[in-house]
Chains A and B, each alone.
Chain A
């Protein structure tokens, strides 16, 4: 039953992406990408990744959509009709996809409890995590306690991106001000 839910949601996501690739109105593209992100969040709930689902719904479907709409407002653009049919990219991505599918042949089946991913490291966190950190949510325990420095590094990445955006957009404002001055 759980496998059925996940597979149906994944099919819906594939449909959303196909429609998105064929749409040229950028507003529709952005709305479809928001829909895609919400479907992804739902899949994450079905896959027991509730923390990821919450973050994906807030950041992926919320903030990303707002950022894209803001950029669309500043650019006011519609995608131009392509000059020719994209046969070469289609062939490249299709063959790369087939190679990857060939690579999945030997991978463990969905939800196989004997898969290597369930045999190392994770059981140790699940057993000792709550008593060592005092946090029953193991994801939070790993994120904020065991791997706290990684999360600090992540904050540095976000800060760097923010500094880059400020540098890019402030320069723009000063230039327009220069132009207006005699």
Chain B
């Protein structure tokens, strides 16, 4: 049982990080904090991909004389793409937050919803 916990700990850490990110996204009202939570969810997926490719005693997948065991290079390629796309979505999300702040003078979800439901209509957008 203890050996099982030890050898599956990386999966569980990844699940914990993903769920913590999801919790921040749905439970916290501040839009910047929501985006940080989304980023944590995203980075937890890197672990899900890269951790199973590791072989203890192996080395980074750069072929050279004297090494025979390499970790799996394919997850690394996929995750390199994911990191760059992740920062692109983060930048777009932050631009939207800045626009929301211009229109509503707040980046708290509750405040924005309250102004949307006000009869005179808050915000210029």
Given that A21-B20, A150-B81, A164-B92 are known contacts, is A80 also in contact with B30, CB under 8 Å in the complex? Answer: yes
Q: How far is the CA of A154 from the CA of B21 in the complex (A)?
A: 25
Residue contact A93 to B19, C-beta cutoff 8 Å:
yes
Main SS class of interface, B: helix
Q: How large is the interface on B (under 10, 10 to 19, 20 to 34, 35 or more residues)?
A: 35 or more
* Contact residue among A7, A40, A55, A77 (Cβ-Cβ distance under 8 Å from B32): A77
Given that A67-B90, A75-B98 are known contacts, is A10 also in contact with B61, CB under 8 Å in the complex? Answer: no
Residue contact A172 to B84, C-beta cutoff 8 Å:
no
Given that A96-B19, A122-B74 are known contacts, is A56 also in contact with B83, CB under 8 Å in the complex? Answer: yes
Q: Which residue in chain B gives the minimum CB-CB distance to A121?
A: B74
Q: Which residue in chain B gives the minimum CB-CB distance to A6?
A: B10
Residues of chain B from 68 to 84 with CB closer than 8 A to chain A in the complex: 70-77, 79-81, 83-84
Residue contact A52 to B85, C-beta cutoff 8 Å:
no
Residue contact B11 to A104, C-beta cutoff 8 Å:
yes
Q: How far is the CA of A26 from the CA of B54 in the complex (A)?
A: 35
Residue contact A139 to B23, C-beta cutoff 8 Å:
no
Q: Is B28 an interface residue (CB 8 A)?
A: yes
Q: How far is the CA of A50 from the CA of B61 in the complex (A)?
A: 9
A-side contacts of B59, CB under 8 Å: 48
Residues of chain B from 38 to 95 with CB closer than 8 A to chain A in the complex: 39-40, 43, 46-47, 50-64, 70-77, 79-81, 83-92, 94-95
Question: Which positions in B face A, CB cutoff 8 Å?
Answer: 4, 6-13, 15-24, 26-30, 32-33, 35-37, 39-40, 43, 46-47, 50-64, 70-77, 79-81, 83-92, 94-99, 101-102, 106-108, 110-111
13 additional contacts (CB under 8 A) given A50-B60, A55-B84, A86-B27: A3-B6, A10-B10, A11-B13, A17-B20, A43-B47, A60-B43, A64-B39, A68-B36, A111-B54, A117-B75, A122-B74, A125-B74, A168-B96
A-B interface, 7 closest residue pairs, ranked by CB to CB distance from nearest = A161-B88, A109-B7, A86-B27, A48-B71, A10-B13, A89-B27, A79-B30
